Amino acid sequence: MPLRWSNVLGVLVTGVLLCAGVAISPAGQSRPPKPVLILDTDAAEGKAEAEASKEKELSPTLAAENLKIGDFYLKRKNYPAALERYRDAVEYQPDLLAAYEAMARAYEKIGESTKAVEAYREFIRRNPESPKIPQVNKSIAKLEKRG
């Protein structure tokens, strides 16, 4: 049986891809890699203590960025990462009401009713004229019944 260059080339390419860790499907097409869990906690890397000692300057831009990233994590059910970002958003802009509301929702998701109530109350304290107050009060009442 004669040796064909197309067969040799196919074997070489397959070998290189396998060595590189690329999965090959039976049809010869590479599969996309499995999704990786995004970790956004510096505590896992030992950086939490160093950053905790730094005092953050007020920055509405950084607050908005952290709020947006927190929402990203909340949608993906990575509640600890979302809470960390919401806390950062509040540190950068203490009057960012959306961060308090989102923080309360994240605390609710992980079953931290007391902290969720605190976040909702801080929302009310900082914005007593909000049209969302009746809805927030209902959430507080519901959480206090559970607690």
CA separation for the pair 15, 76 (Å, rounded): 36
Length of the chain: 147
Q: What's the pLDDT at 74?
A: 96
The pTM score is 0.61
Query: What's the CATH number for 42-146?
Result: 1.25.40.10
- pLDDT (tens place) for every residue of the chain, 147 residues total: 565 656 655 655 555 555 555 555 555 556 666 666 666 656 555 565 555 556 678 999 999 999 999 999 999 999 999 999 999 999 999 999 999 999 999 999 999 999 999 999 999 999 899 899 999 999 999 999 886
Q: What's the pLDDT at 108?
A: 94
* Annotated domain spans of the chain: 1-34, 42-146
* Burial annotation 43-58 (CB, 10 A radius, 16+ → b, else e): eeeeeeeeeeeeeeee
CA separation for the pair 105, 99 (Å, rounded): 10
Q: What's the pLDDT at 31?
A: 63
